[in-house]
Amino acid sequence: MQALELLQRIVAAPVQAVARETPLEQATLLSRDSGRTIWLKREDLQPVFSFKLRGAYARMARMSRRERQRGVVAASAGNHAQGVAVAAARLGMRARVVMPKTTPAIKVDAVRRLGAEVILHGDGYDAAQARAHALCSELGAVFVHPFDDLDVIAGQGTVATELLRQMSNQMSNSPDAVFVPVGGGGLLAGVAAATKTLSPETRVIGVEPRGAASFKAALKAGEPVDIGPVNLFADGVAVRKVGRYCFDVAADLVDEMIEVSVDEICAAVHDIFLDTRSVIEPAGALAVAGIRRYLAAGGDGQHLVAINSGANIGLERMAHVIERAQVGLGREVLFAASIPEQPGSFLRFCRALGQPELTEFNYRFSSLSEAHVFVGLRMGGDPEQRNRLFQRLQAAGFEILDLTDNALARDHLRHMVGGHRPDSGREVLYRFRFPERPGALEEFLTHLKGRWSISLFHYRNHGAAYGRVLAGFLVPESEQGAFDSFLQLTNYPYQVVNDPACELFVGERRSDSAVAIAGRCEG
Ligand SMILES: Cc1ncc(COP(=O)(O)O)c(C=O)c1O
């Protein structure tokens, strides 16, 4: 469909029946820091805390009387579910929403409160979607796609017609660029179609999390492609394959795609909080993270708009996001230091540290000759400050291992009581992602069948759809093949841990301590 034709559908989409015209606000602090004028389109202020009700309502309002009588079915782990529930209530339709069993209670409860029937099924979106399609066949109900539908795209496009009008009222001007969070691509397609027909000189820039950049992959391949398991951190946009319609509309209209890291997303949540005193969900903060990266790379334009697309985040998740934001903004440094076990050396270490603001300090006796200290410090965000500190400590004779960007250290070691295992055989360490639902651990142990001893286990709930686990097992060399088969059987994503940080604090003690920091594990 041509952008102009789609614009007609966007203009005709009756979203004002459920969606409010959200403010387009200047972000004072972000603007001051960047020297540009940064605008936030506050879709987080919609009645269901995201823009998704626009698309759902635009689709459902166009259904025939017979279709409406049959009711709708949707599959969603979050915002689309709430959009469908609101639209159904407004149109007097019955809505059934299939949600993965891992969906946080806050989202399940919200959908139920809005009057939809919730069916919990499977561990992820794919399983929920398959169940939803089966339900549609059984009941003759209509499936409402979260993004790959021209009416849904048209509904999402109303965000752009609105913001262009607001901008021209406030500034008699068009934005130089609009930054759009991208999951399946519905919002991007709608915004691109509206923007490029009404204000062709405005750049449309899509933003995706690293590890879930399915639109970028589609552009490269020339068609939507399944990129496999994606980074789930920004759960609202964790989509393996973008929509066919979304791609066909947006591929030629979008000017640029930007990828941002989890730390950058968390830093953007923090930035938005400082400017608005509102907490945004990770997917909702993608656009601001994209603006930061765009400007760091020398991007031009004075008036830059970020679509703050949603704010459905549970309290339990916020602590983790804030913790990561400190790292994302370069405000927390984590490192390990080796200190000789001699009288007075601990004091010497503390003096060399200066008097910083400590966020973490774990000391564990290690051997007769050496101790390892795990240190977290609050910093001003200047990378030079970190370098100067490390130089000072090294000059004082302490060996330093920078762990600031080390996911294992950040997610596990800093929260664990350290210690090396007793010398009782070959130990292997793995990180896993467990689905966050009752029975996940039991399932894992059932597969293990008590065949190998667990020498270490650390799990931490981040309020996400999955929990991170660090586990050690005693596995003789000759049984590694059988152990690998067990790992396959669990079906939980995993990676082998071969990390210097582990060696210092929990893993097997080895004689050679010359090590390199392992690659980061995003999310
Ligand atoms: C908060 C939020 N932002 C962005 C998106 C991405 O939208 P789309 O799937 O249309 O690309 C979603 C999708 O659900 C979302 O919930």
The string of pLDDT tens digits covering residues 62-106 is 999 999 999 999 999 789 999 999 999 999 999 999 998 878 788
Question: Which atom belonging to ligand 1 lies closest to the Cα atom of 281?
Answer: 1
Q: How would DSSP label each residue in 140-190? A: TPEE--SSSSHHHHHHHHHHHHHHHHHHHHHHSS--SEEEEE-SSSHHHHH
Question: Which atom belonging to ligand 1 lies closest to the Cα atom of 146?
Answer: 9
Query: What is the Cα–Cα distance from 523 to 517, expressed in whole angstroms?
Result: 17
CA of 50 to the centre of ligand 1 (A): 8
The pocket around ligand 1, CB under 6 angstroms, is made up of: 50, 52, 78-80, 146-147, 156, 181-188, 236-237, 281, 283-284, 309-310
CA of 368 to the centre of ligand 1 (A): 55
**pLDDT confidence tier of residue 516, bands split at 50, 70 and 90:** very low
Question: Which atom belonging to ligand 1 lies closest to the Cα atom of 153?
Answer: 10
Q: In this prediction, what percent of the chain has a pLDDT beyond 70? A: 92
Window from 124-138, 311-325, 388-402, 413-427 with minimum mean pLDDT:
413-427
Q: Which amino acid is at 348?
A: R
From the list 50, 76, 214, 309, the catalytic residue is: 309
User: For the whole model, what pTM was predicted?
Assistant: 0.80
Q: What is the pLDDT of residue 518?
A: 29
More confident residue, 200 or 461: 200
CB 24 within 8 A of CB 305: yes
Average pLDDT over residues 357-376: 72
Question: Is pLDDT above 80 for 286?
Answer: yes
Q: What is the pLDDT of residue 418?
A: 60
Q: What is the pLDDT of residue 161?
A: 98
What is the SS3 assignment for 413? helix
Atom 16 (ligand 1) nearest CA: 236
- Asked about 309 being catalytic, the answer comes back as yes
**pLDDT confidence tier of residue 522, bands split at 50, 70 and 90:** very low
Q: What is the pLDDT of residue 367?
A: 62
For tokens 């492609």, the residue is 225
Atom 13 (ligand 1) nearest CA: 236
CATH topology of domain 3-46+150-326: Rossmann fold (3.40.50)
Average pLDDT over residues 203-209: 98
Average pLDDT over residues 149-156: 98
CA of 440 to the centre of ligand 1 (A): 28
**pLDDT confidence tier of residue 22, bands split at 50, 70 and 90:** very high
CA of 160 to the centre of ligand 1 (A): 15
H, E, C per residue of 250-280: HCCCCCEEEEECHHHHHHHHHHHHHHHCCCC
More confident residue, 522 or 66: 66
Q: What is the pLDDT of residue 61?
A: 97
More confident residue, 470 or 296: 296
Domains 52-143 and 330-404 share a fold: no
Sheet holding 24-26, edge to edge: 24-26, 37-42, 303-308, 177-181, 203-209, 256-260
Q: What are the backbone dihedrals phi and psi of residue 210, each rounded to the nearest 5 degrees, phi first?
A: -60, 135
Q: In terms of CATH architecture, what is 419-523?
A: 2-Layer Sandwich (3.30)
- Asked about 196 being catalytic, the answer comes back as no
Question: Is pLDDT above 80 for 346?
Answer: no
Q: Which one is the CATH code of 330-404: 3.30.70.260, 3.80.10.10, 1.10.10.10, 3.20.20.70? A: 3.30.70.260
DSSP code of residue 20: -
Window from 194-198, 291-295, 444-448 with minimum mean pLDDT:
444-448
Average pLDDT over residues 304-330: 86
Average pLDDT over residues 467-476: 85
Is the domain 52-143 a CATH 3.90.226.10 member? no
E strand or H helix at 120:
strand 117-120
* Alpha-carbon distances of 253 from 199, 510, 514, rounded to whole Å: 12, 55, 50
Pocket test for ligand 1, best of 79, 97, 179 (most atoms within 8 A of CB): 79
Q: Where are the domains of the chain?
A: 3-46+150-326, 52-143, 330-404, 419-523
